[in-house]
Every structure is written in structure tokens, then in C-alpha cells.
Structure 1
Amino acid sequence: MTRMASPYGVHGGSTYTPRTMSTAEAVPAGVDDAVNSQILKVSEDRIQGFHRYPFRTIAEDSGVDLDTVLERLRAMVEAGTIRRIRQTLMATSLAPGALVAWKVPQDDIKATFDYMFEQDPFSGHVVTRTTDRETPGSQYKLWTTLKVPKPYDMDAHCRYLMTKTGAQGYRLLPAKKLFALGVGHVRRRTIEPGEKTDEPGRVLDTKIVDLTDREWRILMALKREFAPAEIVEDPWVARAAEAGETIEDFCEVAASLNERRVIGRFSTFLEHVKKHSDGTQVTRYNALFHWRVPEGEQLRAGQEVGRHHCMTHAYWREGGPEFADVNIMGVSHGTDKERVLEHKAAIDAHLESVGIPVSYTNVFWGGRSEIKPSEISPIAYREWCAREGLDPADMTA
């Protein structure tokens, strides 16, 4: 491997030495900077699978030189523009999961939110949601994502969380199918209502893949987010050592997991709700759309929703009577509420145009929101049980 000279030291290593900059020399860290935008249009969602040199791939695909990519990504992480950089996993293939709607008294929502985000490593997205009027399910004002690795049980986990919080009830909404999406927030800002792919969204199954302890150890090192000092040309050397592997063996196992569709994308995740240090905000509105389509049409409807560029997620989830029997759900973000509703109206019209009638629909608007990667390892679950004073056997189905 050729090692390249840089003001940050040798890129082939696992650390860098930051240079001292005056205010005038400060590296731009906002999403509206032209170079940063060029990088983010690639780094948010276009680096699919495992790459031996992921930052080099970002540089090649964005047309920005590697030194600048490394410098700008470090600056955006340090400024909070990017909330994390990490290798994502196909968590739906590694641990059973669900969207969880929680019924929490208004006075207890803040404390319950804080506990889910700060104390439960298996809850990922934590969002408060409201509707524009009283509707089926509008009493569920706190929503989380949850992953509980086998052989442990999501219901047992939720019942335990109820003992630690003000939650009075919950509804598990596991995904039957997921529909592949992939437009990052930076590119999504210019999307017009109705813009979609030529082909229906790709269907992703939720079948769990069994892994060995060694594979779990490598995955845990692989998925941990990168600190600024770890944003170097060859980031996997240190992670291989962390997992007790040679770099060759580490990458060989990672490549095999990639072939088994356990690996997601290498991604830079923007802070898309809170304001950045330069005052910009990637998005202001986070909308969870609900649709009820005829029985038997869920798969086709999910693919038609999933082809729309405005969507960040789309799922087949059965809402049950609490949510008026909706069966397709998806999330869209935007800076203008009316624009978000225009995107939804375009999807509604498209579903009707392809012969999928929508008999009920709703929007749950996001309020306070925090996101962290969910733990998915059974090793991590046993360690959590020990910290909580729980018998792991009591947390199985």
C-alpha cells in the first residue's frame, strides 16, 4: 500500500496528528459548503457493502481528493454536522426487531424518553410523535425502534422497560418486509413530489442469520462509529487489532459477511434535526406515514411507496385495530411541512393510479428525536442483564 503524505500524518495508520489552524484557516463544516455537499451526496448512502478502503472509495466516487475528504469529514464530525460515521449492518438480519409505540402519560414522557435513549442500549431511534387531530393510535406519543438478539424476547424486554419508566402500555410493530431506499438527506432536499425510481423498491426479508462468536466479535468492531482520529485512509487496521484478528483475516470475514447480506452501507449520518454550528438545519419535519391497503396488496404497495425518493424508510407493518389496521408505514423528512404533505399526496395518488386503493391514511409528526445504533449482539445482551441484575433466562420467550 502506498502511504501518502498529509498534514494529518500517515494515512495508512490508525491515528492522525491534527494541525493547528487559525480562525481564517478553519475547515468549512456546514452542509451548504460546495465541497462538503459534493462529499455528502456520496458518503450519506452510496457506499454500499464492505469496502477495504471506504474513505478512498468516497473520494473516488465524489471526485474530491482523499486528503480533502478526510479533512472535511473530520471537521464535520467535530462540528456536529455529522453525528456519526460507521459501517452499518443489516440489523434486521442479525436480531429480531420492531417499531414500538409506547403509551406514556404526558408528565412522564420526558423521563421515559431520556431512559430509553440513555439507559437502554437496545432502543435505537427514540422519537416523540403527535397527530394533527385525534386519530386511532394518537395516544401513543413515544416511539422507539428496538432490537433484541436471539434467544431473548422483545415482549420480555418491553415489560422490563415499563418497570423502569412511566410507560403504561406498548404496541410492538415488527416489519414483515422492508423496501430498499437510498437517497441521502443532502440530495433529498431538491427532490420534487412524485419523483421515484423506474423500478419498484427492492424487497428485503427479515430472516435472521446465525453467526459464530468470532463473527460477532468482528462485527462489533466493524460497526463501532469512528472518532475523528480514526478517519484515516485505512481505518480497519485498528479495528482488526481490536477484534484480535490480522487485517487480512478481519477483511476476509467482513467480505464473507457482506456476501451473506449482513453488511449494510458505509455511511456518514447527518445531524438532520438539530441545528448545526453554522445555524443550518438539514430538515425540520419528520413524518411517519401510515397507509391501509387491501389485504394481499401489502407487498406491492410497499414496493410502490419504496420507489419514491422522498422516503427514508418503508415497511410492511401490521398496525392492528389500535392504528386502524394500517399495514404500510414509512418515514419522510423535510424542511417545510406543506412540502412533506405534497410528497405524501403524490404517493397517495400514485398508489391509486396503479390500482392500490388507500382506505385510510395518517401522519404522525416527529418532535423531539434522538438516534443511536442499537446493540444487537447476544453477548452484549448478557452483559446488560448482568448490569441490570437480571437472569438472562427470564428474558427469553
Structure 2
Amino acid sequence: GTTEEDVIDRIEVLHRKNVVRQIGAIFDTRKLKYQSMLVAMRFPEDKLDKAAQFLNRHPGISHNYERGGHFNLWFTIAVPPDRSLDDEVRMLGELTGAISTRLLPTIKFFKIGVNFDMVKGKSDATEGYRPEDQGTTSTTSPEVTQDVIDYVKVMQEDLPRVSRPFDAMAEQLDMTVEQLFARADELVEKKIMRRYSAVLHHRRAGFSSNAMIVWKVPEERSEEIGTIMAQHPAVTHCYQRPIYEDWPYSHFTMVHGTSEEECERFGEEIADATGMNERQLVYSLREYKKTRVRYFVEDEFVIEELQPIS
């Protein structure tokens, strides 16, 4: 057993050491009618930092990484329903002077969700294929009412490190704590809210390597192979995405390990299970940004008013 004060102190230490990035509600971007996708860009090495810092200003860019390979900057972006995602990415490419840009929306989703075993040093990804998660946005999800928007705006914030953290949240929403939790259950049932949890800094939590393993998969075997890939316990995310002349890799599997050697072993195991051998391990070289998308917030970032970087 332990005391409430000790738990709060431990959480504070984990925040201060940046092991825990944030504790809060995680919502499904598509269910909130936001559009999202993965984007790969290529920049000259001497322009990369400046471009990455420029992109970091965009409120919808939640993950932004330098990675090895032909495309050296990869980011995820989400925009509200009243914005055009394709136009937004096109303008960002023009403003940053990208040599090339590839839009990589999800064609098919096979797996998402990861739990880290802090004792054994293993990741356990558990959420599997769900048809309603396909595409860049959802057309079948429930209407996003003003009540839902207000709830999202409050619950997406970091959990206060106080004795009764949900009291203030409930008060902001003019409801009781019991009603706050009941609404959470309702939104989980509707798959608008995925979970309420801590988001870890993987490297500081002991998972020092992560690799995006991309695979060349015949179209006619796409679903079969994706399903097998998703079953590997080290795979935290598994998607099918578009291919291009300069990017023939349709299947993306993200793995987290304690070393590059372990990530390479995961790749070998997936290859053995699927019979697919044409792959690349694309490692994260530098993290420029990793945060959650903050939904329904006012922001001063107006892309049409920005000047290209020099």
C-alpha cells in the first residue's frame, strides 16, 4: 500500500524527469470530425532544422521526427472539419521549401494501442482491427455536439496533481464528478474517447529505440499480411498507406525496443511470419515534437498569413 501524498509525489517526479509527458483523455481524431494523416517530406540537410521548427508551430502537428532515409522529415497532422487537409499540407510544403512531399493517409488500419511493461522491458500492443477506424476522417461517427466539444476541451488537459483532480474539471463543466465519469463511459462506448491514461516518453521509460518498419506487400495480399503483422506483440501500430513511384512500401509497422538490435529482430520475426522480405527499418534520429493534438482551441496560427522560410 501507499498514501495519496506519495502517489502525487511520484507522479510529480515522473513529470519532472519527463518520463510521463501528460495524463489525460485520449480522443479519436476521426470521431471528432478532424482529418488527419502521416506526411513525409524531403529537405536538404542544411534546411531541415529550420523547416522542422516552422512546422512545429502548426497546432495540428502532434508528432514531428527526423528519420533516416530518402524522406528525412515525418510528421502527423490533423485539421478541423472546416479546413482542407490536402491544401494545408501543400501550403506547408511550399512555405518550408520541401524538395518533395508525400501524403500518406491511412487506407486500412490493422492495429493501434500500446502498453509498456516497465519490468520486463517489453511493449504489448492490444487494440486490433476496427472497420470504423478507416480513412482520414469518419463519416459514420455520432454528431459532435457542443456538449461533447466542451467536455473534450476540459478533459484533454493534463491531470492536476492535487488530491481531488476531477472536482475542478466537473465544476468547469457544471456537473458532478459522477456525471463527469458517466460522460466518459458514454464517450468510450461511442469510441469518441479511447482511454484516460498517461503518455510516456518512450526513451526515458527505457524503450530507447523505435523503428518504423515499412514493407512492400502485394496489393492482393494486403489484408492477409496486415492482419499477420498486427499479431506480433511488439507492433504498436500497423497501417496500410498509399504507395508512390519513389515509395513502394504500403504497410507500416511501428515497433519499440530497448535497442536497434531488438528492433531488427522484430523485423526478422515479422518477415518470417509473413514471407515478406522487402522492407526498410526507418529509425527516429531526432524528435522535434511529440504532443497531443489539442482539439477545438483557438490558435493564432493562420497559415495563409505566413511567409516562406528563407
Q: TM-score, normalised by structure 2?
A: 0.84
Q: How many residues align?
A: 296
SS at match of 1:161: helix
Paired amino acid for 1:96: Q
Report if aligned partners of 2:122, 2:234 keep a CA contact under 8 Å in 1. no
Partner of 1:371: 290
Residue pair 1:180, 1:203 contacting (<8 A) in 2 also = no
What is the DSSP-based 3-state SS (H/G/I as helix, E as strand, rest coil) of the residue aligned with 1:322?
A: coil
1:239 aligns with 2:169: yes
Q: Distance in 2 between matches of 1:265 and 1:120?
A: 25
Q: Which runs of 5+ in 2 are unaligned?
A: 306-310
Structure label with greater radius of gyration: 1
Distance 1:254 1:290, change over 3 A: same
1:272, 1:283 within 8 Å by CA — same for their partners in 2? yes
Match of 1:141 among 52, 72, 95: 72
Aligned match of 1:97: 36
Q: Give 1:263's aligned residue.
A: 193
From 62, 65, 80, the equivalent of 1:124 is: 62
Partner secondary structure for residue 323 of structure 1 = coil
**Could you tell me whether the CA contact under 8 Å between 2:67 and 2:282 is conserved in 1?**
yes
What does residue 388 of structure 1 align with? Answer: 302
Residue correspondence of structure 1 range 1-397 to structure 2 within 5 A: 66-94=4-32, 95-117=34-56, 119-131=57-69, 138=70, 140-178=71-109, 179-184=111-116, 186=118, 189-190=121-122, 201-203=128-130, 205-206=133-134, 207-208=138-139, 209=141, 210-226=143-159, 230-232=160-162, 234-273=164-203, 282-324=206-248, 326-352=249-275, 358=276, 360-369=278-287, 370-377=289-296, 380=297, 383-384=298-299, 387-388=301-302, 390=304
Give the unaligned 5+ runs of structure 1.
1-62, 132-137, 353-357, 392-397
**CA distance in 2 between partners of 1:335 and 1:251 (Å):** 36
Aligned in 2, Cα 1:75/1:196: closer, same or farther, shift over 3 Å?
closer
Shift of 1:141: 0.6
TM-score, structure 1 as length reference:
0.67
What is aligned with 1:60? none
| Other structure's SS at 2:118 match | helix
Deviation at 1:64, TM superposition (A): 6.2
Q: Once the 2 structures are TM-superposed, how far is the Cα of residue 65 of structure 1 from its aligned partner?
A: 6.0
Distance in 2 (alpha carbons) for counterparts of 1:313 and 1:159: 26
* Matched letter for residue 206 of structure 2: V
Q: Is the 8 A contact 1:201 1:305 kept in 2?
A: no
Q: Distance in 2 between matches of 1:97 and 1:196?
A: 22
Aligned partner of 1:202: which letter?
Answer: Y
Structure 1 residue 181 displacement after superposition = 3.7
- Whether contact under 8 Å (2:112, 2:236) holds in the other structure is no
* Aligned 8 A contact 1:185 1:282 in 2: no
How far the C-alpha of 1:288 sits from its partner, in A, is 0.7
SS at match of 1:265: strand
1:16-40 CA distance string (max 9 Å, x none): xxxxxxxxxxxxxxxxxxxxxxxxx
Task: Report % sequence identity.
Answer: 22
Against the structure 1 CA distance between its residues 294 and 375, is the aligned structure 2 distance closer, same or farther, given a 3 Å change threshold?
A: same
Secondary structure, aligned partner of 1:289 = strand
Q: Deviations over 1:341-378 (max 9, x none)?
A: 011100110113xxxxx26311211111130112343x
